[in-house]
């Protein structure tokens, strides 16, 4: 073992005891491997007080640790780190991790006083050996000052490079693996689990993935939570069945799933259990759990779910979002909370104003990560995450898996489990019956009223209508209310109190028609929306999928209607792909519009392309018919026995 390390060139310099000290600067060969090793075990470097080790390439271990923090650290075979494996109680423990002497990693831990731990022995470290249940007494030592705090804990204060400027981080022994497999899961055959995964179109990637659960009593949650789940739901959703055991095991998770999959409980309940397992909240400490999401509506909805289950376990949750007064949110943070649900901009404002901090945070959730990146929140997210301890647990949920989200996951997570529910391609919920009508712009409002006249005769008639602009939302709502339709609208210019009132009226069914801009397209969690109408087609097929995903939630069925005009022709091909994947009827007019646009675009390219004298001219594409799109195609079939109109 020592010879292997010597080949990496780290035995340079001397410690105060005349032993070799760890220097990482021989050609930089060792730096990257050390970084991977440190990241793998989620600990940082610890150096003896009198050791002046320096790495000129990566800057690791450039400062000292006070002798009172760690009384005596043998550095002869130190590989840039000190690992102490002690189990639950470090008092008087004597540990040997492996039976192979050449790869020994051992330590004798003696508690000298209530707040002083002495490490008296440390052997070599096997770079390829995984150690279970490690207790880390080691901290980042770049530009930091260390002081003793309590048994097995060292507190650091000062700036942390790339981990948040001005951060003061309490590093305590965090418990992450809280999962105990239920006996019924252990008895279940792997063939049954594989069949269930196949039937639910689930793809799992990762190592040592816990088996999925099928029933609430298998989850390992506290009894009050299991009881409340059983009252509200029959069985876990697919994403809950997989994500609960993974999250409770302390693993990082990437979950790609359609809207309405039950992901909110998929991360809130493990977050509650995680919080209960950590040291109790102290004065002036921030939350143990931080949930970041893109919009205030989604933040409010997630916080409502969190508050219901937190109340059972005597935990506190709050919500921080823009567009509302800061005073009330700041008071909640100062009083002390366990779970904070927030939009990135508002929580970063509070952190920069020292209203709260992330010293205590050890559980991070990024919900609708793709949407947050689309909205330009990446700089704020990176600043916030930089204030959270690097060995945190991170869960990421997204409806799509673009390159930007993949980069974020690679930067924020370690050895995650990757879960994909459904097709890897963009796909709409198959519980939604999709209707597309090609018509002229001036025909849309009349057609909308025809549809609503039919819809309002149904028993379940809650309808969400998406329009492109705020002005159009207000205008159509005025026209509808003037004609007696029970409609309200919501968009970004509405005051927060009005937005909350409108959402409450819609949720409770007092106003069954809601018009909205895309501010409500993501995360609007109203479980009984039966119809979605796209009055204006969105900018892309991804937004189309998310819009219609407001219906057909929690295994229910729903119906969507989409008005498509000739101005939307460039988006026809992508829409057809979504319809084909879901095995929906594709109107002939839509196919003609797609072919016409493709041929027209191809012809335009040929017209302006420079002539290549060396090559033959390309064949002309077959021109399509792009004219004659007037009126609408009635693609829904009326039902027999209409009830009398309710409104």
> How would residue 172 be classed by pLDDT, with cut points 50, 70 and 90?
low
**Same domain, yes or no: 285 and 395:** yes
Contact 405, 369 (CB under 8 A): yes
The pLDDT tens digits of the residues spanning 236-275 come to: 999 999 999 999 999 999 999 876 778 999 999 999 999 9
Is residue 616 in a domain? no
33/29 Cα distance (integer angstroms):
8
Q: Which of 374, 375, 370, 394 is nearest to 384 (CA)?
A: 394
The pLDDT tens digits of the residues spanning 425-446 come to: 677 888 999 999 999 999 999 9
**Same domain, yes or no: 275 and 240:** no
* Average confidence score pLDDT of the chain: 72
Is residue 340 in a domain? yes
* The pair of three-digit structure tokens given for residue 470, joined into one six-digit string: 């705020």
Within 10 angstroms of residue 147's Cβ, the number of other Cβ atoms is 12
User: How many domains are contained in the chain?
Assistant: 4
112/500 Cα distance (integer angstroms):
57
**Same domain, yes or no: 166 and 195:** no
**Same domain, yes or no: 53 and 6:** yes
**Same domain, yes or no: 149 and 230:** no
Q: Which domain holds residue 527?
A: 432-608
**Same domain, yes or no: 443 and 314:** no
**Same domain, yes or no: 42 and 4:** yes
Which residue among 151, 171, 191 closes a domain?
171
pLDDT value of residue 435:
97
Q: Does pLDDT of 417 surpass 90?
A: yes
Strand partners, 76: none
Is residue 625 in a domain? no
pLDDT value of residue 599:
60
541/547 Cα distance (integer angstroms):
10
Query: 3-state class of 603 per DSSP?
Result: helix
- Residue 161's contacts (CB-CB under 8 Å, 6 or more residues apart) are 59, 140, 142, 143
366/461 Cα distance (integer angstroms):
33
Counting every residue written for the chain, the total comes to 647
**Same domain, yes or no: 454 and 406:** no
263/81 Cα distance (integer angstroms):
38
Q: Which of 129, 131, 111 is nearest to 119 (CA)?
A: 111
> How would residue 394 be classed by pLDDT, with cut points 50, 70 and 90?
very high
Is residue 619 in a domain? no
87/502 Cα distance (integer angstroms):
53
* Residue 391's CATH number: 3.40.50.300
Q: Mean per-residue pLDDT for 154-169?
A: 34
90/609 Cα distance (integer angstroms):
74
- Residue 162's contacts (CB-CB under 8 Å, 6 or more residues apart) are 386
The pLDDT tens digits of the residues spanning 93-141 come to: 333 323 333 333 333 333 333 333 333 333 333 333 332 323 233 322 2
**Same domain, yes or no: 262 and 378:** yes
Is residue 621 in a domain? no
Q: Which of 439, 457, 458, 628 is nearest to 534 (CA)?
A: 439
φ, ψ of residue 10 in degrees (nearest 5): -100, -5
The pLDDT tens digits of the residues spanning 475-528 come to: 999 999 999 999 999 887 888 788 889 988 998 999 999 999 886 555 566 878
pLDDT value of residue 21:
36
Which residue among 576, 592, 608 closes a domain?
608
Q: Mean per-residue pLDDT for 371-392?
A: 91
Q: Mean per-residue pLDDT for 417-422?
A: 90
pLDDT value of residue 140:
24
Q: Which of 464, 468, 466, 458 is nearest to 525 (CA)?
A: 464
pLDDT value of residue 567:
93
Q: Which of 191, 203, 190, 148 is nearest to 170 (CA)?
A: 148
**Same domain, yes or no: 187 and 71:** no
Is residue 381 in a domain? yes
**Same domain, yes or no: 223 and 298:** no
Within 10 angstroms of residue 613's Cβ, the number of other Cβ atoms is 5
The pLDDT tens digits of the residues spanning 188-237 come to: 998 999 999 999 889 999 999 999 999 999 999 999 999 999 999 999 99
Is residue 630 in a domain? no
**pTM given for the model:** 0.56
Secondary structure string (H, E, C) spanning 245-301: HHHHCCCCEEEECCCCCCHHHHHHHHHHHHHHHCCCCCCCCCCCEEEECCCHHHHHH
Give alpha helix (H) positions in 66-206: 183-187, 190-199
Torsion, CA 599, CA 604, CA 609, CA 615, rounded to 10: 30
φ, ψ of residue 146 in degrees (nearest 5): -110, 145
**Same domain, yes or no: 87 and 143:** yes
- Strand 253-256 with 393-398, pairing: parallel
Is residue 639 in a domain? no
Element (H, E) at 366: strand 363-366
pLDDT value of residue 258:
74
The dihedral of CA 368, 369, 375, 381: what is its sign? positive
Within 10 angstroms of residue 637's Cβ, the number of other Cβ atoms is 7
pLDDT value of residue 519:
67
* The pair of three-digit structure tokens given for residue 640, joined into one six-digit string: 């027999």
């Amino acid at each position: 073992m020592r010879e292997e390390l010597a080949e990496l060139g780290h035995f340079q310099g001397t410690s105060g005891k005349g032993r070799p000290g760890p220097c990482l600067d021989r050609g930089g060969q060792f730096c990257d491997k050390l970084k991977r090793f440190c990241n793998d075990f989620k600990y940082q470097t610890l150096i003896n007080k009198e050791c002046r080790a320096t790495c000129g390439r990566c800057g690791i271990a450039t400062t000292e640790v006070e002798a009172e923090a760690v009384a005596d650290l043998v550095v002869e075979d130190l590989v840039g780190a000190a690992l102490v494996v002690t189990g639950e109680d470090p008092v008087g423990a004597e540990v040997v991790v492996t039976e192979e002497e050449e790869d020994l990693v051992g330590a004798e831990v003696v508690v000298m006083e209530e707040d002083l731990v002495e490490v008296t022995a440390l052997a070599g470290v096997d770079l390829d050996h995984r150690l279970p249940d490690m207790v880390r007494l080691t901290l980042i030592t770049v530009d930091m000052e260390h002081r003793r705090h309590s048994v097995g804990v060292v507190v650091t204060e000062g700036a942390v490079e790339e981990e948040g400027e001005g951060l003061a981080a309490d590093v305590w022994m965090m418990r992450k693996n809280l999962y105990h497999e239920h006996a019924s899961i252990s008895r279940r055959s792997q063939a049954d689990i594989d069949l269930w995964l196949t039937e639910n179109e689930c793809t799992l990637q990762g190592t040592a993935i816990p088996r999925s659960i099928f029933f609430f009593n298998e989850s390992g949650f506290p009894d009050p939570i299991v009881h409340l789940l059983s009252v509200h739901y029959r069985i876990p959703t697919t994403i809950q069945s997989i994500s609960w055991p993974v999250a409770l095991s302390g693993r990082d998770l990437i979950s790609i799933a359609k809207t309405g999959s039950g992901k909110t409980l998929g991360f809130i309940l493990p977050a509650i259990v995680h919080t209960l397992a950590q040291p109790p909240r102290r004065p002036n400490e921030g939350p143990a759990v931080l949930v970041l999401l893109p919009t205030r509506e989604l933040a409010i909805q997630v916080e409502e779910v969190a508050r219901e289950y937190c109340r059972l376990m005597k935990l506190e949750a709050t919500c921080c979002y823009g567009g509302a007064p800061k005073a009330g949110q700041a008071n909640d943070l100062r009083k002390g909370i366990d779970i904070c649900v927030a939009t990135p901009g508002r929580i970063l404002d509070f952190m920069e104003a020292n209203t709260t901090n992330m010293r205590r945070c050890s559980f991070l959730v990024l919900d609708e990560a793709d949407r947050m990146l689309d909205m330009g929140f990446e700089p704020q997210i990176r600043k916030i995450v930089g204030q959270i301890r690097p060995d945190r647990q991170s869960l990421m949920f997204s409806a799509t898996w673009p390159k930007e989200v993949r980069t974020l996951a690679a930067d924020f997570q370690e050895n995650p489990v990757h879960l994909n529910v459904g097709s890897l391609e963009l796909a709409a919920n198959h519980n939604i019956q999709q209707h597309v009508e090609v018509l002229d712009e001036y025909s849309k409002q009349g057609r909308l009223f025809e549809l609503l006249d039919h819809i309002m005769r149904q028993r379940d008639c809650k309808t969400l209508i998406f329009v492109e602009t705020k002005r159009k939302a207000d205008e159509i709502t005025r026209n509808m209310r003037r004609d007696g339709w029970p409609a309200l609208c919501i968009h970004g210019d509405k005051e927060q109190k009005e937005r909350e009132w409108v959402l409450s009226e819609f949720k409770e069914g007092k106003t069954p028609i809601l018009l909205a801009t895309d501010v409500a397209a993501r995360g609007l969690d109203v479980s009984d929306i039966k119809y979605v109408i796209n009055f204006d087609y969105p900018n892309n097929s991804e937004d189309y999928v998310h819009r219609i995903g407001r219906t057909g939630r929690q295994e229910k069925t729903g119906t969507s209607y989409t008005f498509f005009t000739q101005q939307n022709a460039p988006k026809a091909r992508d829409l057809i792909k979504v319809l084909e994947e879901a095995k929906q009827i594709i109107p002939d007019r839509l196919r003609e519009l797609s072919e016409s646009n493709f041929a027209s675009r191809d012809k335009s390219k040929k017209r302006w392309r420079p002539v290549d004298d060396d090559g033959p001219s390309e064949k002309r594409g077959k021109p399509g018919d792009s004219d004659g799109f007037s009126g609408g195609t009635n693609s829904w079939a009326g039902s027999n026995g209409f009830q009398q109109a309710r409104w």
